[in-house]
Amino acid sequence: MTPRVGIVLFPGSNRDIDAVNALMVAGAEPVMLWHEDTDLSDVSAVLLPGGFAYGDYLRAGVIAQFSPVMRAVGEFAARGGPVLGICNGFQVLAEAGLVPGALLRNRGLRFVCREIALLPERLDSPFTREIGTQRPLRMPVAHGEGCYFADDATLDALERDGQVLWRYAAVDGRVAAPEDAANPNGSLRGIAGVANAAGNVAGLMPHPEAAVEDLIGSADGLGIIRSLVVSAQEYATTGAVTGTRALAGVVG
């Protein structure tokens, strides 16, 4: 059975076609979900793509969190369903409290659009299980508010509990510090993506869906998309996903 993965569309989403293509390359059936939809019973994973939800008025993701579909996404996540937010999708998840931390204005206060190196922190999560080897992955970033921030206690807890999934990597493979040129936005501890405490919701700022075929410059993002698809298949079959844990009342 081909897993069905929902792609959430907000007014202003602009990476939805890239997400459709990436999911098809990875072996899933994409299902478009409008921001007013409330029924997710027909999908076994959810992807929130990049863009500028509601024009990013006020700040990125803050208006989208109140849309009807996000209530449904929250309920889906509470049942253990896998949810991945990319770029603006990560911002929406953070604003909705589905992943910890916040995304602030880039360190240089400018929109950044370029290729970066993304280092997987672990290879056993629902979103990294198909990457294969722990090496820097080439893919683009395109954002103005991508600086990952949390207080020191939260950052320590994220690292202790394995919730940091990706970091920006320097040329030599080291984690890129906030002031490093390889860190495109000044994210603390080089964090590019995190998961919630249960492990079934994750967000990252780089765009793996734009790096799934060598023809377009890199296929390094395909492992991340395939991981979501494999997790969707597992959730559709068993109602659970390997690498997650049930924590009552925990969403971030």
C-alpha 246/C-alpha 237 separation (Å) is 17
User: At 35, is the secondary structure helix, strand, or coil?
Assistant: coil
C-alpha 230/C-alpha 223 separation (Å) is 10
CA-closest candidate to residue 188, choices 160, 148, 158: 148
C-alpha 201/C-alpha 188 separation (Å) is 20
List the catalytic residue out of 35, 145, 207, 234: 207
Compute the radius of gyration of the chain from its Cα atoms.
Answer: 16
> Which residues lie below 8 Å from residue 194, measured CB to CB, with a gap of 6+?
99, 100, 101, 148, 158, 163, 164, 165, 202, 203
β-pair partners for 169? 175
Active site residue 35: no
C-alpha triplet 45, 243, 80: angle, nearest 5°: 40
Active site residue 113: no
List the catalytic residue out of 121, 145, 209, 234: 209
The residue with tokens 């569309």 is 9
Polymer length of the chain: 252
List the catalytic residue out of 87, 130, 147, 234: 87
> Which residues lie below 8 Å from residue 238, measured CB to CB, with a gap of 6+?
none
C-alpha 225/C-alpha 235 separation (Å) is 15
Active site residue 87: yes
Active-site annotation, residues: 87, 207, 209
